[in-house]
Amino acid sequence: MELSIDSIPQRHRGLVAVTLVQAGAALFFVADILADWTHFSSEPAHLAVEFAAVAGLIVGSVWGVRELRRILAQNARMRGSLQAASGAFLELMEGNFAKWGLTPSERDVALLSIKGLSIAEIAALRETREGTVKAQSAAIYRKAGVNGRAQLLGLFVEDLVAGMVLEGGEGRTP
């Protein structure tokens, strides 16, 4: 995975800044240790403390970079899963709409209903009367075999949950 400032989300840039400060401090201490060592001007205890500080900064810097890479990879996997789920949901909706024999207008109303728009909002968006949207909604519910919007949405949620493949976790069932 390539690491560039543009590939790092804004919320993770603080971790990058702290890691860079740690790396800079480690370089400073390394230079200071080398200067002290070559001039024999420091006591062994002083050099040991500086060496321990350098070791801690290097470990912190390496850990910061590894953690950032892990977070970015996890975010990329989650984005991919979300896109797959969105595609699966759309495919599931289209399949059910076809199975129920919804008209194009009913498909539009069903989709807008599932998105959570009210009857008035759907009517305004479709430039039709609320009564028309109510009639189309009733036809959708009848064809789907449900009593309302909540049950309609529930059909899709049940189908998605039934088709999920859960990773790990004991006692979980797909």
Q: Could you give the CA distance from residue 120 to residue 117 in angstroms, rounded to a whole number?
A: 8
Report the b/e string of 61-74 with b at 16+ CB within 10 A.
beebbeebeeebee
Banded model confidence at residue 167, pLDDT cuts 50, 70, 90? very low
Reported pTM: 0.50
The overall longest dimension of the chain from CA atoms, in Å, is 92
pLDDT at 7: 66
Q: In the prediction, which pLDDT does 136 show?
A: 96
Q: Which of 69-73, 107-111, 155-159 has the highest mean pLDDT?
A: 107-111
Torsions phi, psi for 109 (to 5 deg): -65, -40
Q: How confident is the model at residue 40 (pLDDT cuts 50, 70, 90)?
A: low
Q: Is the pLDDT of residue 174 over 80?
A: no
DSSP-assigned letters across all residues of 28-84: HHHHHHHHHHHHT-S-HHHHHHHHHHHHHHHHHHHHHHHHHHHHHHHHHHHHHHHHH
pLDDT of residue 170: 44
Q: Fill in the DSSP letter of residue 171.
A: T
Going from the C-alpha of 24 to that of each of 17, 28, 30, the distances in angstroms are 11, 6, 10
User: Between 163 and 12, whose confidence is greater?
Assistant: 12
Sequence ranges of the domains in the chain:
9-83, 101-164
- What is the average pLDDT score of the chain? 81
Angle at 70 between CA 11 and CA 82, to 5 degrees: 75
Model confidence over 87-105: pLDDT tens digits? 777 888 888 899 999 999 9
- What CATH number does the domain located at 101-164 have? 1.10.10.10
